[in-house]
Structure 1
Amino acid sequence: MRTRLLILALVSGQTVLANEIQVDGKLDEAAWQGAAIYRDFYQVVPATLMQTQNKVEGRAFATADGIYIGFKNWQKQGERKKQYNLQDAFMQADFNRFVIDFSGDGSGAYQFAVTLGGGVQDAVLTPQLTTDADWDGIWQSAFYEYKDYWSSEVFIPWHSVSFKPNRTNDGMANVGVSLQLYELATNHIYASQPQTTSNSDFYLKMPKIQASIPEQQQWAFIPYATHQQDFVGEASNTDMGFDLVFKPDHHQKLSLAVNPDFGQVDSDELDLNYSTVETLVTDKRPFFTQDIGVMNVNAEQNTKLIHTRRIGAGSDDGQKVITPIDGAVRFIHQGDNWQFAGFAALEEELDSGAGKDFYVGRARYREDTWQSGVLVTHTERPWRDRNAQTAAWDSQYQSDTWSWQSALLASAVTERGEDSQGYGVSTNIKYQFDPNTHLTGRYLRLDDEFDNNDLGYRKRNNWRFNELYFSHAVNYSSGFINRIQYNVQLNYESNDSGLKLPATQSYWASFILADGSSFDASFDYQTAGWDDLIGAGLGQYENRDLLKSWFFYGSPYTGSFSWAASFRLDQEGIDGLAQQYAVDMTWMPHENWSLKFNNFYRQGDGMVIASGPGQVAEYDRRLFANYINVSGLLSDKLELSMIFQWAILDADTKAVYDIRGHHLSPVSAVDNSFTDQRFTSQIKLRYRLGAYSDIYVVYNRGAGQFDQDVGSKEWLSELNSMWQQREQDQLTFKVRYLF
C-alpha cells in the first residue's frame, strides 16, 4: 500500500521538514534523517543479551497523522529468506516485529510484524503481556531489497487505535517503541531493548520517543453486504449491515454495528472433541475484536467472562446454528488513570423468542506499576426464562522482577425461578531471576455453582487447580547448539470438595540448534485421581497413574522446503497404550506461494468416553487428521487460499463399564463402536481495496458421517462418498468498504 502526505515531522521535540513521504520501504525521504535512531540491539533469543550494531538499525518518528517505523536489516542476498504470507498466518521468512505502547504507560500495546516478502501480522498486547491475534488494525507497510541489506517501512495512523496520550508539561507525548529483527536462518531475535514480552519488566523498560499528537475527531462508516447461494438447500440469501465509528478524540470511541454477525468468512477448523472440555474457538469478527485489551480480565486456564463467540451462536430453541444479531454498540473512554468501557449486543428474537441479549460494563484504575478494575456482565435468555450475571475484580502489579495478577470471580443465575450463586479466584505470581530464569505459581478455584458459560468460557467448575512452573535457559555462543531451555511443571488438582483429580507433572527440554533447526522432548507423569466429569455426571471412578513421552524435530526454515515431525508414546485410559505420529511439510515453490501438508495419526486402545448415564466405554481407536493449505498472491492485491481438512475416528468397543459405588463394573455383550468422519474445504479469493475494505468470493463444501459400522469401509472411498453427498455446499460473495 502507498500513501502520500505532506507533513511536518516532530522527533524528540525538534522540528524536521519532511518532503513527500511514500511508504515504499526505501527510507529515502529527508524526514528519516531526523528520526530517532536505534543502533544498539540485543540478542534476546537465545537471551545472551549480546549487544550488536551490525545486525539491524531501527528508526522512528511521529507526525500529526501517526507514527512511522523503519528498519535496515544487514542481511546480504543469499543469506536472507523472502516469503509472502496471508495476514496473521505463520511467517516463514525474515521479519521485523515491533510493539507500540501508544500511551507510554503499560496500560496496553499493539504488536505488528512485516516480513521480507510482504506478509503482515498484528495483535493486541494486553497489560498482562498476553497477545490476541484476532485484532486487525489500519496500518501500511512495505519492504525494499538492496544488495547488502533489506529495509521495511511502516505507517500507523493515530486514529487506528484507542489510547490516552501521556503528555509531559511541554505538551509532548511519550510513546513506547520496541523493535525486533527475527533472523530465520538461526532462529535468533535481536531487539532494541534487552527484554521480550515474556519478561515481566517489558513495559517498564520500553524505549520512548516523543510525539506531538494533536486532538483529532474521526468518523468511520463501514458498510458491508453479502450474498450467499446454498446449493444443498437450493436457497439464496442476501444480507447487509454496517459499522459506524465515532472518535471524539484518541482516548474515546463509540461504535455501532447493525447486523454484524457475518463479519467472519473463514470457516473453523474441524473438531472431533469427545472430551468433557469444550474447545475454545477464537473470534475474528471485526466488531468484537476492537479494544479488547480494555475489556480483558486475565484468569487462569483460559477462564473468561467474555467469550464473544457466544454472541450469535446457536439459538436456545435449537433451530438456528447461527443466530442473526440485530445490533451492537460499544464505547471506550481512557483517562489519565481511569478507563471505562461497555458494550451491548442484541440477537434477533426469532419466532420462538429464542434470541439472547448481552450487556457488559468495565471500569479500571491504573498507576505506573499496578492496576485494578471491575468487570460485570448480564445475559438475558427469554426462551429458557434465564438471566445470568458475572462479575470480576481483577488486579495487577509489575516490577523489574515480580509480576502478580489476581481476579475474584462471581456468578449469579436465575432460571425458571431457581437461583444459584458461585464464586472463583485466580492468581498468577511470577518471579524473574534473570532474562533466562523464572518461576511462576498459578492458582484457580471455581466452586461447583460458578457458571459463566452464558457469555464466558471455562474448562470446568467445581475445580481447584495449582501449578508451579520453573523455566531456565542456557545459551551457547559456539557449537551446534545455541540454546537449551529446561521447563519443569508441577500440578495438583482437586474438585472443590477436596477430591483429588488427575494432575500432570512434566519435564520439557527445548533445543535450538546452530543451523536453525529445533528439537524438543517432554516426559509427563499423570498422577492417579478421580474422574468426576465422565459418566454423564452420574458417576466417578479413580484413574490409574499414566506415563507419557513426546519428541519433536523441526527442520531449518530456510530454503523452499521445510518439515517437522513428532512422536508420542502414552499410557492412556483404563489399561491402554497409544502411539501418535505427526508430520508437517511446507513447500514454497515461489516467494509468493506456499503449500502446507499436515498429517496427524493416533492409535491406541485406551480412549474412554461416557456411553450413557453412569456408564463409560473404552475404545480401541484410530484417529487420522489431514490438513492441506495452498495460499499466495495472484496479483499485488488479489489473494487466493485453498484449505482442505479431513478427519476420521474409528472407535471399536474394547470394554463397557457401569460406575457402581465409585468402581468400574464390566458390562458384557454391549457394543458401542462408531465411526465419525468429517471434512471441510474452502476456496477464498480476497481482493484488497484498502484498510477494512475488501471483496471476498468464498466457496465452502463439507460433510460429516456417523455410523456404527467400524472398519468395514475404506477411508478414501468414504471420503469420496461424503464429497458427493455433501451437507454444506455454498458460495458467498461479500464486500465491505471503509469510508
Structure 2
Amino acid sequence: MTLRRFFLLACAFAAPAHAAIVVDGKPDEADWADARVFADFRRTQPYALDAATLATQARMLSTPQGLAFAFRCAQPPGVPRLKPITARDNIGAADRVNVMIDFDADGKTGYNFTVSLSDSIEDAVITDENQFSSDWDADWQHAVHETDEGWTVEILVPWTIASMRGADTPTRTVAVYFDRVVASRSERSATPPVFYGNQVFLSGYEKVEIAQYRAQLLDFFPYVSVLQDLKNPGTEFRGGMDVFWKPGGNFQLTATLNPDFGQVESDELVVNFDAIETYYSDKRPFFTENQGLFDLRTPQDGLILYTRRIGAASDDGSGEAAGIDAALKVNGSAGAFKYGFFDAEESGDAGRSFRAARLLAPGETFSIGTLVTSVDRPALDRSALVDATDWRWQASERMRFDGQVIASQVDDAGITTRGTGGWARWVGTVNDRWEHDAWISHYGADLDFNDAGYMPRNDLNQAQWRTRYKRNDFGADSATAAVTYTGIAVGRTNDDGDRLSPVLRLERSAEFKGGGKYFLQLRGDLAGYDDQIARGAGNVWRPSRTSMWTYYESPRVGDWQYIVGVWLMQEGVHGRAVQWEPEFTYYVSDRLTVDVTAYVRFSNDWLIWLDGDRLASYRRKQWDTAVNLNWFPAPRHELRAKMQWLSIGARDARAWRIGERGRLRRDGTADDFSINSFGVQLRYRYEIAPQSEFYLVYSRGGFERRDGHADDPGELFADALELRDADQLLAKVRYRF
C-alpha cells in the first residue's frame, strides 16, 4: 500500500453503502440505477435553446470515492466522430463532454472537467461567473467507451479535489452543469441551458442535494532535475518537494520546498512597446492548487495576487529569476466563513517575501470578503500592503450587483504613499435574448497593487455600458442558426480631469447550422488624450480613429480546420494599418496534429515612445508566426515541438515632441531599427502514473535589436535561426507518493 493510499480514508455519515465505481467508460454498475438523471439538453451554441440534435444523458452519483458522473451520448454512424488525441487543456475541435461543479453552490468558484472522445482531458477553475483558468491540473479519473451507436464516459471527482464548506455534514448542496459538444456540427448542448459567454453562468447552475462523505489525502511530490547549459557549458542539479495535505474538505494545506520552476511549459514570445505590462499565466503546480479563493480580479483585467511575481526577475538587478526557498498555502472553512493564507519566501539577500490572507463570508444572496497582500523587498528598501474588500449581492435570479474597494500603502526608501480605488457593477438579464451590464470604476493616481498583483494602470476613472441581444428565430431555409449583437460604450478620464479617448464598439457574431462562426467588430476611439504612451512625460492628443476586425472560424472539414481574419485600423498620428490573421490546423491522424499561425501587420504610422517627451512614428512590417506539432506515438508518451518567430522592421522614422495641449510637433528624425525574436522547444513527456511524469526538454531562443532598416522576412528569419541567448537541455522527474 502506498503512503498516499494509507492516508486515504473515506467514511459515510448518513448515506447508503455503495460498491466501488470502476471508471472504465462503461456505466454498467448497479448503483448507476440510483443516480440522478439529467436529460433535458438544450442547444446553447448556436444559442437556439431548442432540443439538442443528438440525445445526451448525464448521471450523477455520490459515492465514498467521490462524485461520479456518467454520460451516454448518441452518435450514429452518419455523424462524423472527431477524436484527435491532444495535450492536456488543449482539446480544440473534438467531440467532448463537460461537467462543471460549484461545491458550495454559492456562485463564487466552480471547477470544470472535460473529457473528449479520445479520452483527452481539460480541467479549469471558474471565477467571476465566467472566467476560466486552465492553469490548474487536478487528479481525477476518466474513461471513454465507444459503440456503433454512440459513446459513453465515466468521470470520478474525488472529495479531496477542492476545499469546501460544511464538509462534516451528512449531506451537502452542490450546483452542477453538464454540456456536450458535437464538433462536426459546432454544436454545444447543455443542462441547465446557460451559456458560458453570458454574464450569468456560474450562478445559473442547477442545485442538487447529495450525500456527503469524508476523505483524507496526503501526497508527496519529490522531484529531481538536471539542467545542461549548452551555450555556457555547465550542469545544474536540483531537488525539492511539493506536499499536498487534505485532512478533509474543511482544511487543505499545500507546501513546496526548494521548488524547481524550470520551463517545461514555455511562454509565448512577446515584444511589448506599450506602457502596460504583458500578462502571463502560471502553470506551476503549487501556485495553481487551491488558488480559486485568492483569484480576485478587477473588470480592467487586474489581479490582486499575481503569482508570476514570485520567482520573477530578482530585485538585485541581475535579470536572473529569483530562487524560492519555500512556500505555503492553507485553505479552509470555519462556520460560515472561508479562509486562506499564502506565504512564499525567495532565497538570497535580495529575496522577497510574499504573503496573502483571504477571508470570505459567502451567502445565498449576499457575500463579502477581503484579500490582504503584503510584499517585503529588502534589496529596494520597499514594502507594500494592499487590502481589497469585495462584495456581491444577488438581488434576484436575473439581477446582480458586485464590486470592490481597494487600498494600498507602499513604503519606498522611507517615503509612504497611500492610494485607494474600487469599482461597482450591475448585471441585468431581461430574458433569454437581452442582457445588460454596467460598471463604474476609480483607481487613484497613488493606488499601487503591482508588487504582489497585476495592475494594468492607475489614475483612471471609467464608466462602461454593454448591451447584448441574441436572435435565434431564423427560418428553416436560412444558413444562420443564431446571431449575437453586442454594443459597448466606454467613457474615461484621469484624476486630472483629462478626457481619455472614449470608445464605442459594435459586434456581430453569427453561428451557422452547418458549423462555423463569423465575427465582425466595428470600433471607434473618439478624440481624447493618451496619458500613458509618454510614460508620465505628458499627455498626447489623439484624434478620432476607427477600426474593423473580422474573422471566419470554420468547422473541421476533413483533416483541416482554419480561421481567417483581417484587422483594419487607424493608428499612430494620421496613419493606417492592416493585419492578416490566418490560422490552420491539420490533423495528420488522431495522434498527430500540426498548427500554423502567421499574423502579418503592415503599418505606415506606428507611433512609439523614445524617451522623455519624444516619440517616433515608423513604417512597420511585423511577422508573428508559430508552428506547433503534437504527437502521441503511444499511450502515455507525448512529443511536442513548438517554434515561434517574431520580427519587426521599422523604417522611415519621423520624430515628434509633445507640444502645447498634447499636440505632437515634428522634431527631426529618429533611427530606423529591426527586431528579431526566436524560440524553439522540443518536449518529450512520459506519464509514469497519474501526476507522476518524466520530462526531457530542449529549449533554444534569442532576441536581437539592430539599428537600421531590415524588413525582408527571409533575411530576418535566417538571422533569427542564429540567435542563441539561451540553449539548454532539461531532464526532470516528478513522482507522486
TM-score, normalised to structure 1, is: 0.94
Residue ranges of structure 1 left out of the alignment (5+ in a row): none
SS of 1:32's partner is helix
Moved more, 317-326 or 281-290: 317-326
Equivalent residue, structure 2, for 1:615:
614
In the alignment, what sits opposite 1:371?
367
Contact 1:43/1:51 (CA < 8 Å) preserved in 2? yes
Does the alignment pair 1:124 with 2:122?
Answer: no
Match of 2:451 in 1: 454
Amino acid in the other structure paired with 2:644: Q
What letter corresponds to residue 719 of structure 1 in structure 2? Answer: F
Q: Is the 8 A contact 1:10 1:63 kept in 2?
A: no
The amino acid that maps onto 1:195 is V
> Deviation digits for residues 305-356 of structure 1, max 9, x if unmatched?
111100000011221421110111111112342011111111112xxx2221
Deviation of residue 517 (structure 1)? 1.3
> 2:594, 2:199 → 1: CA distance?
37
Q: How far has the Cα of 1:363 moved from its partner?
A: 0.8
The residue matched to 1:383 in structure 2 has which SS? helix
Cα pair distance change 1:621/1:275, threshold 3 Å: same
Cα contact 2:95–2:182 (8 A) shared by 1: yes
Match among 717, 720, 735 for residue 722 of structure 1: 720
Q: Which residue of 2 aligns with 1:24?
A: 24
Q: CA, structure 1 residues 12+72, in 2 after alignment: closer, same or farther (shift >3 Å)?
A: farther
Give the superposition deviation at 1:17.
5.0
Superposition deviation, residue 90 in structure 1: 4.0
When residues 166 and 59 of structure 1 are mapped into structure 2, their CA distance, relative to the original with a 3 A threshold, is same
- Rounded to whole Å, the distance in 2 between the matches of 1:494 and 1:151 is 55
Match of 1:101 in 2: 102
* Identical aligned residues as a percent: 28
Query: Which residue in 2 is equivalent to 1:382?
Result: 378
2:159 maps to 158
Bigger CA drift: 560-569 or 181-190?
181-190
Partner of 1:41: 41
- Compute the displacement of 1:357 (Å): 0.8
1:68 to 2:64 alignment: no
User: Deviation digits for residues 502-548 of structure 1, max 9, x if unmatched?
Assistant: 23211110111111011111111111111222224212221010011
Structure 2: stretches of 5+ with no match in the other structure: none
Match runs of 1:195-594 below 5 Å: 195-199=194-198, 202-262=201-261, 264-349=263-348, 353-398=349-394, 399-475=396-472, 476=474, 478=476, 479-594=478-593
Change over 3 Å in CA distance of 1:714–1:543 after alignment to 2: closer
Change over 3 Å in CA distance of 1:655–1:205 after alignment to 2: closer
Question: Is residue 159–residue 213 contact of structure 2 (8 Å, CA) maintained in 1?
Answer: no
Q: Is the 8 Å Cα contact of residues 562 and 584 (structure 2) preserved in structure 1?
A: yes
Partner of 2:112: 111
Aligned-partner SS, 1:232: coil
> 2: CA distance between counterparts of 1:580 and 1:524?
15
* Offset, 1:127: 5.3
- Cα distance, 1:167 vs. partner? 7.3
Residue type of the partner of 2:726? Q
1:255 Cα deviation after fit? 1.7
CA contact (8 A) 2:15 2:211 kept: no
Aligned equivalents of 1:23 and 1:676: distance in 2?
A: 52
**Partners of 1:354 and 1:383 within 8 A in 2:** yes
Shift of 1:481: 0.2
Query: Is this contact kept in 1: 2:579–2:602, CA < 8 A?
Result: yes
- Taking a change above 3 Å as real, the CA distance of residues 206 and 520 of structure 1, as seen in their structure-2 partners, is closer
Q: Secondary structure at the match of 1:472?
A: strand
Give a deviation string over 1:335-387, Cα, whole Å, max 9, x none. Answer: 342011111111112xxx22211111111111112210111111111111101
CA distance in 2 between partners of 1:595 and 1:485 (Å): 31
Name the CA distance, whole Å, in 2 between partners of 1:542 and 1:53.
54
Counterpart contact for 1:39–1:57, Cα < 8 Å:
yes
What amino acid sits opposite 1:359 in the alignment? R
Q: CA deviation at 1:52?
A: 5.3
Q: Which amino acid aligns with 2:393?
A: Y
Task: Find the aligned partners of 2:327 and 2:583 in 1 and give their Cα distance.
Answer: 41
Task: Write the letter of the residue equivalent to 1:428.
Answer: R
SS of the equivalent of 1:49 reads coil
SS at match of 1:570: strand
For residues 725 and 175 of structure 2, what CA distance do their matches in structure 1 show? 51
Distance in 2 between residues matched to 1:136 and 1:182, nearest whole Å: 22
Write out per-residue CA displacement over residues 234-255 of structure 1, whole angstroms, 9 at most, x where no aligned residue. Answer: 1111111111122221120122
Residue in 2 that maps onto 1:135: 136
Larger displacement relative to structure 2 (69-78 or 602-611): 69-78
How far residue 141 of structure 1 moved from its aligned partner, in angstroms, is: 1.2
Matched residues in 1 for 2:55 and 2:30: separation?
Answer: 23
Note the C-alpha offset of 1:201.
5.3
**CA gap 1:632/1:23 in 2 versus in 1, 3 angstroms:** farther
> Measured at CA, do residues 200 and 534 of structure 1 come closer, stay the same or move farther in structure 2, by a change above 3 Å?
closer
User: Would you say the 8 A contact 2:172–2:210 is kept in 1?
Assistant: yes
Q: In structure 1, what is the Cα distance between the partners aligned to 2:309 and 2:26?
A: 45
Change (3 A) 1:89 1:52: closer
CA contact (8 A) 2:12 2:213 kept: no
Q: How far is 1:11 from its partner? A: 12
Separation in structure 1 between the aligned mates of residue 215 and residue 138 of structure 2, nearest angstrom: 18
Stretch deviating more after TM superposition (202-211 or 722-731): 202-211
For residue 165 of structure 1, report the CA deviation from its aligned partner: 4.1
Q: Which residue of 2 aligns with 1:92?
A: 93
What does the per-residue CA deviation read over 1:50-101, in whole Å, with 9 as the maximum and x for residues that have no partner?
2459520111112111111111111123412222211011421111011012
Cα drift, residue 209 of structure 1:
4.3
Partner of 2:58: 58
Q: Give the distance between the partners of 1:25 and 1:91, measured in 2 at CA.
A: 21
Post-superposition shift, 1:34? 2.4
Instruction: Tell me the CA shift for residue 426 of structure 1.
Output: 1.5
Structure 2 distance, partners of 1:264, 1:340, is 31
Change (3 A) 1:437 1:690: farther
Supply the AA of the counterpart residue of 1:623: Q
Amino acid at match of 1:380: D
Structure 2 Cα separation of the partners of residues 371 and 477 of structure 1: 44
Shift, 1:12, TM fit: 14
CA distance in structure 1 between the aligned counterparts of 2:116 and 2:432, rounded to whole angstroms? 26
User: How far apart are the structure 2 equivalents of 1:183 and 1:12?
Assistant: 40
Equivalent residue letter for 1:387: S
- Change in Cα spacing, 1:201 to 1:552, as seen in structure 2 (3 Å) is closer
Code of the residue aligned with 2:143 in structure 1: it is A
Q: Distance in 2 between matches of 1:577 and 1:532?
A: 21
> Aligned pair in 2 of structure 1 residues 166, 254: CA closer, same or farther (>3 Å)?
closer
Change (3 A) 1:671 1:172: closer
SS at match of 2:212: coil
Q: Residues of 2 paired with 1:555 and 1:245: CA distance?
A: 43
- Kindly state the Cα deviation for residue 202 of structure 1 after the two structures are TM-superposed: 4.3
- State whether residues 383 and 412 of structure 2, in contact with CA within 8 Å, keep that contact through their aligned partners in structure 1: yes
Contact 1:372 1:394 in 2 (8 A): yes
Matching residue's letter, 1:142: A
Aligned with 2:454: secondary structure?
coil
Distance 1:336 1:195, change over 3 A: farther
- 3-state DSSP class of the match of 1:535? coil
User: What whole-Å deviation, never above 9, does each CA across 1:377-413 have from its counterpart, x for those lacking one?
Assistant: 1111111110111111110122311122200011111
